[in-house]
Amino acid sequence: MSNYSETFSNIYTGRPSGQQLYLHEKISCLPITKVATVASEKCFALLGYACDEGVKRNLGRPGAANGPDAIRKHLGKLPNHLPTETLVYDVGTLQCLEGDMEETQQALGDSICLLLQQKHFPIVLGGGHDMAYGTYNGLKKYVGKSETIGIINFDAHFDLRNNLQDDGNTVNNSGTPFYQIAQDCIENGSPFKYLCLGIRKDANDRTLFETAKKLDVKYVMRDTFRIQFHNEINAWINAFASSVDHIYVTIDLDGFSSAYAPGVSAPSPMGFTPDVVLESLKTIMGCGKLRVLDIAELNPDFDRDDQTAKLAASLVHFILHDLP
């Protein structure tokens, strides 16, 4: 793939121990073409999506293309508590060349399918939220048309913008991925299962709420998506999970309050907190249906003390260590 680049191990640095006490000593870099040579009961694959073309098209602040490497730099410094037999590979990065976001999404989908076929659990590091269209299609390609996929999106935004322009052409961006997925589901006669956690009225216009209603999207508003309501939230998650065969989780960092995530395209102090996300992830992972996860919208150009990159790295650390 012309838009693919390998990851080199020198990006993962940290305190040396000689005992794999830190993730930079645990994570191995492997070209994605060689994942078939790996055999283990439990294998994680980190894949970068270095694309912010969708953010630019959505009139956001560009810079998310640098997100994957920013996460990697902080992930390597974190402690390693994984069993020896659990393997973690960084399988490279997909780059958006000459603004061809659609080609990058296609390459992401093909890569996700390949990783799943080789029994790896993919964790995609982004990059704009347009990555969701590629991640979903990769999982769909892997599981087939007869299996139902449920999308759980931690986000302030529905990202259900209509991609049809006044001139009749379609223009996709970081705000359209779930609308695109919904249209594909309608065309294919398959159910569109979408749960959003953390939706805000000040982040979505009236038409987006109308679209969500029309598509039967389930969502929890930000004023309810709080840790004190975790029992109710977990009940909603479990009900959603019981209606699908597989789950794809996507975490948009701009859903967090800017107190935790200033380095995003659309920051807001009104976002949610990490504790409710971690509690929700425990419930999702406990259902045994989670197949792929991605983290979107890290923009290092606007980060403060690498706070958002550290949050993203800690989320990856949590998934690595707590996924059953």
Question: Binding site: residue ranges?
Answer: 129, 155, 157, 159, 252, 254
- Phi first, then psi, for residue 223 (nearest 5°) are -70, -15
Question: Mean of the pLDDT values across residues 136-141?
Answer: 98
pLDDT number for residue 1: 67
Phi-psi region of 282 (alpha: psi -120 to 50; beta: other; left: phi over 0): alpha
Peptide bond into 198 cis (omega under 30): no
From the annotation, which residues make up the binding site for Mn(2+)? 129, 155, 157, 159, 252, 254
pTM score: 0.97
Q: Stretch 217-226: mean pLDDT, rounded?
A: 98
**Mean per-residue pLDDT for 74-87?**
97
* Domain total in the chain: 1
Angstrom CA distances, 296 to 162, 256, 299, stand at 20, 12, 9
Q: What are phi and psi of 90, to 5 degrees?
A: -100, 120
pLDDT in the model for residue 130: 98
Range from 48-62, 76-90, 165-179, 243-257 carrying the lowest mean pLDDT: 165-179
The position carrying tokens 């001139």 is 167
Cα torsion angle, 324, 155, 272, 260, sign:
positive
pLDDT band at 39 (very low <50, low <70, confident <90, very high): confident
For the cut 70, the answer to whether the pLDDT of residue 51 exceeds it is yes
Q: pLDDT averaged over the chain? A: 96
Q: Is 85 helix (H, G, I), strand (E, B) or coil?
A: coil
Q: What is the pLDDT at residue 260?
A: 98
What pLDDT score does 2 carry? 79
**The CATH number of the domain where 60 resides is what?**
3.40.800.10
Q: Name 170's bridge partners.
A: 164
Burial of 176: CB neighbours in 10 Å, binned 0-12, 13-18, 19+: buried
pLDDT tens, 148-193?
A: 999 999 999 999 999 877 676 889 999 999 999 999 999 999 999 9
Q: What is the mean pLDDT of residues 205-217?
A: 98
- Confidence label for 34 from pLDDT (cuts 50, 70 and 90): very high
pLDDT tens digits, 285-321: 999 999 999 999 999 999 999 999 999 999 999 999 9
**Residue 54 is part of which domain span?**
4-322
Mean pLDDT of 7-33: 97
